[in-house]
């Protein structure tokens, strides 16, 4: 298994181009199942999770044409040979469950493996299933699979989510585009990735009102058509590199980043001592600069958008480990998203966990160590800690990073980091 070796201490300085967003690309890919015409996505990041979903779509019978030189993929689902999503692929990546809504609404039946638990929490899909039942589907759980059927098609309904779920909003929004009549999704997620998906569905002929709000009103159509769509820039990748720059006392331009997607994050970074500038224009983005040793502790709580994202909690903790003073970090989205804490502590961080909160008391310096993590964002938080630490850090289980960060070592090395992949 590959590892990443980092010699810490260098400032991250330069320009980092931001890739297309993994968490936007995945539902967009699933939406190709809603039409027999081609859907072409550009700015698709070259990542393991994208390959996993492309494999799943191919096994359903979708024709996948990859133009990797252009970061473009065309999906044509004119014929679906198989409406079953097998355990082997779904367990690799939970977002695979996003094929359920589109397959069910277009073909009247689907058999999708239950994803099972994962490192950051139990992550059930009960909201997805209850909402599909409200749209008229018959749902049976059998042998670890969801068997969903709606032989006469789905019917529009009012659905109030008891709490905000990104995946359930995406799955049900897609299903509702081909349902008979009007569907209202109340307490829907408002993440920018939902807006991106809604824009693509609209280009495919769907009728969706309230995009960007917590109430989406969808008028079902008989058919959707093909479209071309550019995947939005990755706000979590942007925040990750912003934190790497701040933790090392660096200065980076995150090219192509959209500042309006990151207000809660840039507010917290500013509060902790970084200087953020929006650079307009084609070559613009977000610039972040910070004095070495200039960070102060701040409190942060993860929340659905527009709040501070759970997907940046681990990275922010790495940075706050080096701040002056104490910070309270409260994780409200996932019950087990502190797996990076013991590893950060092995590097010298001073962190106390109390249930869903972590009290971080800043230290003067972290020291490099061999570390490993159990999920994507926890792994990258250790990379940030390693970049800022004294000495050498070896991060193992790099496959987590390959799921969600395109060219991570290359991007950081081009900004002065001493970082390399060791292939075993
Ligand atoms: C999406 O996951 C993201 N994944 C996650 O990113 C992100 O952390 C999460 O949203 C929250 O922002 C993708 O977009 C592919 P949820 P999702 O449904 O949709 C509970 C990363 O690192 N819940 O909004 O699965 C759930 O357990 C990943 O890139 C239910 O109880 O998240 C969680 O506690 C990790 N029942 C909360 O809701 C359900 O039916 C929010 O989950 C659905 C969710």
65-98: pLDDT as tens digits = 999 888 999 999 998 999 999 999 999 999 999 9
CB-neighbour burial class of residue 275 (10 A; exposed 0-12, middle 13-18, buried 19+): middle
User: Is omega for the bond preceding 306 within 30 degrees of 0, making it cis?
Assistant: yes
- What is the distance in A from the centroid of ligand 1 to the CA of 419? 31
pLDDT at 35: 98
Distance from the alpha carbon of residue 248 to the mean position of ligand 1, in angstroms? 30
Q: What is the pLDDT of residue 86?
A: 95
Q: For the chain, how long is the longest CA-to-CA vector?
A: 65
Position 161 confidence tier, pLDDT thresholds 50, 70, 90: very high
**What pLDDT does 424 receive?**
80
Q: For 354-396, how does the pLDDT look when each residue is reduced to its tens digit (9 = 90+)?
A: 999 999 999 999 999 999 988 999 999 999 999 999 999 999 9
Atom of ligand 1 nearest to the CA of 189: 24
Q: How far apart are CA 304 and CA 357, in angstroms?
A: 17
Task: Give the pLDDT score at 120.
Answer: 80
Average pLDDT over residues 112-119: 84
**HSE-up of 394 (CA within 13 Å, CB side)?**
8
What number is the average pLDDT over the span 305-332? 98
Name residue 278's beta-bridge partners: 286
Query: Does 200 participate in catalysis according to the annotation?
Result: no
Rounded to the nearest integer, the mean pLDDT of the chain is 96
What are the beta bridge partners of residue 253? 15, 287
Tell me the two tokens of residue 56: 């799943």
Three-state secondary structure call for residue 3: strand
For residue 338, pLDDT beyond 90: yes
Measured between alpha carbons, how far is 313 from 80 in angstroms, rounded to an integer?
39
Instruction: Express each pLDDT in 207-245 by its tens digit.
Output: 999 999 999 999 999 999 999 999 999 999 999 999 999
Closest ligand 1 atom, residue 26 Cα: 15
Q: What percent of the chain has pLDDT over 70?
A: 100
Q: 3-state secondary structure string, 324-344?
A: ECEEEEECCCCCCCCCCHHHH
Reported as a single tens digit per residue, the pLDDT across 23-45 is: 999 999 999 999 999 999 999 99
User: Any idea which of 149-158, 179-188, 278-287 has the lowest mean pLDDT?
Assistant: 278-287
Strands (E) across 251-295 are located at 251-255, 275-279, 285-289
**Does residue 279 have a pLDDT over 90?**
yes
CA–CA gap between residue 170 and residue 279 (Å, rounded)? 31
* Average pLDDT rounded to a whole number, residues 295-310: 98
How many residues appear in the chain?
Answer: 424
What is the reported pLDDT for 68? 80
How many A from CA of 376 to the centre of ligand 1?
14
With 0-12 CB in 10 A as exposed, 13-18 as middle and 19+ as buried, what is 253? buried
Choice from 48, 130, 333 to test ligand 1 binding pocket (greatest atom count within 8 A of CB): 333
Q: List all residues 6 or more positions away from 143 whose beta carbon is below 8 Å from its beta carbon.
A: none
The pLDDT-based confidence of 117 (bands split at 50, 70, 90) is low
SS (H, E, C) 213-262: CCEEEEECCCCCCCEEEECCECHHHHHHHHHHHHHCCCEEEEECCCHHHC
Distance CA 49, CA 32 (A): 17
Q: Is 417 helix (H, G, I), strand (E, B) or coil?
A: coil
CA 414 to ligand 1 center in whole angstroms: 32
Say if ligand 1 is within 6 A of residue 334 CB.
Answer: yes
Instruction: State the residue for tokens 């995150």.
Output: 254
CB 95 less than 6 A from any atom of ligand 1:
yes
Using DSSP's 3-state secondary structure scheme, residue 411 falls into helix
Give the pLDDT of residue 373.
81
Q: Which positions ≥6 away from 411 have C-beta within 8 Å?
A: 16, 17, 241
167 lines ligand 1 (CB under 6 A): yes
Q: Cis link prior to 269 (omega < 30° from 0)?
A: no
- 147-160: average pLDDT: 97
Model pLDDT, residue 4: 96
On the question of pLDDT at 123 being above 90, the answer is no
- Report the alpha-carbon distance of residue 80 to residue 291 in Å, rounded: 55
* pLDDT at residue number 44: 98
């Amino acid at each position: 298994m590959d590892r990443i070796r980092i010699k810490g201490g260098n400032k991250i300085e330069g320009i980092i181009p931001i890739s297309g967003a993994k968490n936007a690309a995945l539902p967009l890919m699933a939406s190709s199942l809603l039409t027999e015409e081609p859907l072409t996505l550009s700015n698709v990041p070259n990542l393991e999770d994208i390959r996993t979903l492309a494999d799943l779509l191919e096994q359903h019978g979708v024709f996948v044409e990859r133009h990797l030189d252009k970061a473009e993929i065309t999906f044509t689902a004119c014929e679906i040979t198989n409406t079953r999503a097998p355990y082997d692929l779904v367990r690799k990546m939970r977002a695979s469950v996003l094929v359920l809504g589109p397959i069910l609404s277009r073909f009247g039946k689907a058999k999708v493996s239950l994803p099972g638990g994962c490192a950051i929490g139990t992550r059930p899909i009960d909201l997805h299933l209850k909402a599909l039942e409200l749209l008229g589907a018959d749902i049976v759980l059998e042998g670890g699979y969801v068997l969903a059927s709606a032989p006469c098609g789905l019917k529009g309904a009012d659905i109030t989510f008891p709490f905000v779920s990104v995946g359930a909003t995406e799955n049900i929004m897609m299903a509702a585009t081909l349902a008979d009549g009007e569907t209202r999704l109340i307490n829907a997620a408002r993440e920018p990735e939902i807006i991106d998906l809604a824009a693509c569905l609209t280009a495919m002929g769907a009728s969706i009102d309230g995009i960007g709000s917590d109430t989406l009103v969808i008028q079902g159509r008989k058919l959707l058509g093909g479209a071309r769509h550019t995947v939005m820039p990755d706000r979590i990748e942007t925040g990750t590199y912003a934190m790497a720059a701040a933790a090392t006392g660096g200065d980076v331009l995150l090219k192509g980043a959209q500042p309006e997607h990151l207000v809660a994050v840039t507010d917290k970074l500013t509060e902790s001592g970084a200087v953020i500038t929006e650079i307009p224009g084609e070559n613009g983005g977000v610039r972040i600069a910070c004095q070495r040793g200039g960070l102060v502790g701040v409190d942060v709580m993860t929340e659905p958008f527009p709040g501070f994202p759970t997907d940046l909690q681990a990275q922010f903790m790495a940075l706050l480990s080096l701040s002056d003073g104490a910070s309270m970090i409260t994780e409200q989205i996932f019950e087990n998203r502190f797996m990076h804490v013991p590893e950060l502590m092995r590097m010298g961080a001073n962190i106390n966990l109390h249930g869903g909160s972590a009290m971080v008391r800043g230290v003067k310096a972290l020291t490099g160590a061999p570390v490993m993590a159990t999920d994507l964002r926890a792994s990258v938080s250790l990379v940030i800690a390693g970049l800022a630490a004294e000495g050498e850090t070896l991060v193992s289980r790099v496959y987590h990073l390959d799921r969600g960060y395109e060219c991570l070592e290359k991007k950081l090395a081009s900004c002065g980091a001493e970082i390399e992949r060791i292939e075993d």
